[in-house]
């Protein structure tokens, strides 16, 4: 767009351009004001639960490769570390009878800490 040569035409041209810009800014401000209550409502009603519950959690790298699996069942809690192919490498199991067991890649017990019952040191 070229500007007119005479001063009164230039003023009219600039005034017309300012009016268009003002109209665009008004529409943008109105749209923003309409969306603001929706955004606030989403934050007010989108409260997260204070507890995350899952039967199994898989820890993965940024590329999606699984590295560990945390699971729970009636026997206790299990943490299994896996290799690049997804095969178990080692694991730990914390059982309900206060026993921590280290497992090898076949799931066999390698070492155990704790015992079948918990005793206080003062007893």
Higher pLDDT, 97 or 90: 90
> Where do runs of H (alpha helix) occur along 6-58?
7-45
Predicted local confidence at residue 39, as pLDDT: 64
| Residue 83 backbone dihedrals phi, psi, to 5 degrees | -85, -170
Read off the DSSP letter of residue 48: P
Assign residue 64 a region: left if phi > 0, alpha if psi is -120 to 50, beta otherwise? left
Please compute the mean of the pLDDT values over residues 28-46 and round it to a whole number. 66
Higher pLDDT, 119 or 112: 112
Read off the DSSP letter of residue 2: -
pLDDT tens track for 46-73: 566 677 788 888 888 888 888 888 888 8
Predicted local confidence at residue 90, as pLDDT: 87
Read off the DSSP letter of residue 19: H
What is the reported pTM? 0.51
Higher pLDDT, 5 or 18: 18
């Amino acid at each position: 767009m070229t500007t007119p040569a005479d001063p009164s035409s230039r003023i009219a041209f600039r005034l017309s351009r300012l009016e268009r810009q003002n109209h665009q800014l008004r529409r943008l401000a109105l749209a923003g004001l309409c969306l603001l209550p929706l955004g606030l409502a989403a934050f007010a009603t989108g409260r997260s639960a204070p507890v995350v519950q899952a039967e199994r959690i898989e820890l993965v790298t940024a590329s999606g490769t699984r590295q560990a699996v945390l699971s729970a069942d009636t026997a206790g809690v299990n943490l299994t570390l896996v290799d690049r192919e997804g095969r178990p490498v080692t694991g730990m199991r914390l059982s309900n009878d206060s026993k921590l067991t280290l497992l090898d890649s076949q799931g066999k017990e390698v070492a155990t800490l704790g015992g079948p019952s918990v005793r206080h040191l003062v007893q």
